[in-house]
Structure 1
Amino acid sequence: MKGIIYKGIGGFYYVRNADGEEVECKARGKFRKDRVIPMIGDEVEVDVKNGKGSIVSIETRRTRLVRPPVANIDIVVIVAAAKSPDPNAALIDRMLVNAESNGIEPIVCINKTDLADASELEAIYKGAGYKTVSVSAETGGGVDELKSLIRGRIAAFAGVSGVGKSSLLTLITGNSLETGAVSEKISRGRHTTRHVELFPTEGGGYVLDTPGFSSVEIEDIPLEMIEQCFPEIAEASGGCRFRGCAHIGEPDCAVKALVAEKKIAQSRYCSYKELYELRKGKKEWK
């Protein structure tokens, strides 16, 4: 049987195949010997006997996240709110950098558009070259468009507390995902232990919540890759006078010129500059 690990608890892995059949599995000893730990999202081959499964092989992972530990994510849906809480551009940009540096396609989703206009925020990220979608979990507006963007894919939802990820996930799956919902109390200091789980969606896809995704391990990103994580800055850099321009203090910088002309958002440039200087201050790992 071939399938995907959609949940793992206490050393047991739960695998679902394309027909929706599910089986509880253990990993064979060879994985421990090779120091390979199965991950949620892994595509696996399972040997099933008497209703119980044994994972015999793991397909090569397309993508891999460390926090949370999930494999083969196709899309990260970065959820912000138009209001309550007010959008935090710096945090959105950090999550975009996290997606870009892990080779995962990001989508910016602006929720709570029933409370405030999202056109300015949407323009910033569309201008940066990202797919964006404005939705309201309260009214259902825009949710069908979001569904179409993630149909048939494994989509991770990321965002700070209170932006409405849980409500969106419930609308997308048709089920209340209490086990997969981030407690809004986490941001206020209360620790909550929970497992990561993939939930099936229409069209053969899966969704999951990703607590911890906003934490960027900046030392893991090469300095020269910071620019590549800001597509509009990377594109503009070809017009700079100096090759290898950092877009900080160099003369004749095309990026800074576009910022001055408001063709690159000031908030995006500030995020780039902050992350670049933060990374530059870190020692290279040997």
Structure 2
Amino acid sequence: MIEGTIIKGIGGFYYVRVENKIYECRARGRFRKEKITPLVGDHVHISVDNASKQGVIEGIMDRKTELIRPPVANVDQAVIVFAIQQPDPKLSLLDRFLILAENEDLDVVICLNKIDLEAKEELQRLRMIYEQIGYQVIATSTKVKMGVEDLKECLKNQTTVFAGPSGVGKSSLLNSIQPNLALQTGEISQKIERGKHTTRHVELLPLEFGGWVLDTPGFSSLQVDFIDKEELQYLFKEFNEYLDRCKFQPCNHINEPDCAVKRALEHGHIHISRYESYRQLLEEIEQARRY
């Protein structure tokens, strides 16, 4: 048996990298029976037919981390890319991905791209919201080559999932960091202000300076209904110092009196956009539990 890493999966075929070789593999039928789906990033055991040079995935090693969307395993950190403009950033979507990353205990870097556009006030506003919470924020532009070296340093010797809505410039950023990746890029639709899906599948890409990056298809929604209602509050990092100060335990931080989280919101210690994201996600989780 040979050990390798799944770097790509397309149409039921999995491409497993073993040192400098890549083997096209199928998964054993028992994985389907056991309802186990191999993921890009999985460390696997494969057997190889010497004549055809094709392989079979025989076993999947324990996963360090696992994300549902994008479906990847064993990543160290998430770089979440949003544009300052074109398309305008949707903070509720950014917060959803942050929650999924927190749920997997991933380190997170927020990348605000296209800062060459005239949006200095928006950049300052977003920095204020997320740096206050404790997230690292990197501002970038591929057009004027700003922040690209900072982002490159962040990726070094890490396995990173690179994610964000379509059209925010994820592939362009990766091409700027390492041109020989030659990732396809797309333009923004002026009519709907949404990018074309130029990345069609999840793929693990090696970086020349050390590390791996997963370029993923853009997404427009993220489901969080698998998260326990009681756990959601702990995934908003800025809530943590107030949770044990609420009068009622447990507290949903919605209608309960003498709620420390709501007091922090009133005093400006928790940003209103983050609290509204919490309310929206809590409602979605509660609705999902009813059906």
TM-score tier, shorter chain, comes to: 0.7 to 0.9
Whether 1:223 aligns to 2:223 is: no
Q: Displacement, 1:168? A: 0.9
Instruction: Report if the CA contact (8 A) 2:76-2:107 is conserved.
Output: yes
Distance in 2, matches of 1:187 and 1:234, equals 36
Cα 1:192/1:112, change in 2 over 3 Å: closer
Residue number in structure 2 paired with 1:176: 182
Q: Counterpart of 2:151 in 1: which secondary structure?
A: helix
Q: Which of 46, 66, 69 does residue 68 from structure 2 map onto?
A: 66
Q: Which of 217, 232, 249 does residue 255 from structure 2 map onto?
A: 249
How large is the Cα RMSD of the aligned pairs? Answer: 2.7
Distance in 1, matches of 2:186 and 2:98, equals 20
Cα 1:10/1:198, change in 2 over 3 Å: same
Q: Which amino acid aligns with 1:4?
A: T
Q: Which of 271, 274, 277 does residue 271 from structure 1 map onto?
A: 277
TM-score by length of 2: 0.85
Q: Displacement, 1:189? A: 10
Whether 1:139 aligns to 2:139 is: no
Q: Which amino acid aligns with 1:271?
A: S
Residue deviations 1:108-140 (CA, integer Å, cap 9, x gap): 111112222222211211111222211112222
Q: Displacement, 1:223? A: 0.4
Whether 1:76 aligns to 2:81 is: no
Q: Counterpart of 2:96 in 1: which secondary structure?
A: helix
Distance in 1, matches of 2:199 and 2:110, equals 27
Cα 1:278/1:131, change in 2 over 3 Å: same
TM-score by length of 1: 0.86
Structure 2's unaligned 5+ residue stretches are none
Q: Displacement, 1:284? A: 5.8
Q: Counterpart of 1:249 in 2: which secondary structure?
A: coil
Q: Displacement, 1:30? A: 4.3
Cα 1:183/1:31, change in 2 over 3 Å: farther
Distance in 2, matches of 1:93 and 1:121, equals 12
Q: Displacement, 1:221? A: 1.2
Distance in 1, matches of 2:7 and 2:81, equals 22
Distance in 1, matches of 2:165 and 2:257, equals 37
Q: Which of 147, 162, 167 does residue 172 from structure 2 map onto?
A: 167
Residue number in structure 2 paired with 1:24: 24
Q: Which of 205, 208, 215 does residue 214 from structure 2 map onto?
A: 208
Residue deviations 1:27-76 (CA, integer Å, cap 9, x gap): 34443454433221111123332433332321111222333332222222
Q: Which amino acid aligns with 2:62?
A: T
- Number of residue pairs matched? 282
Q: Displacement, 1:182? A: 7.4
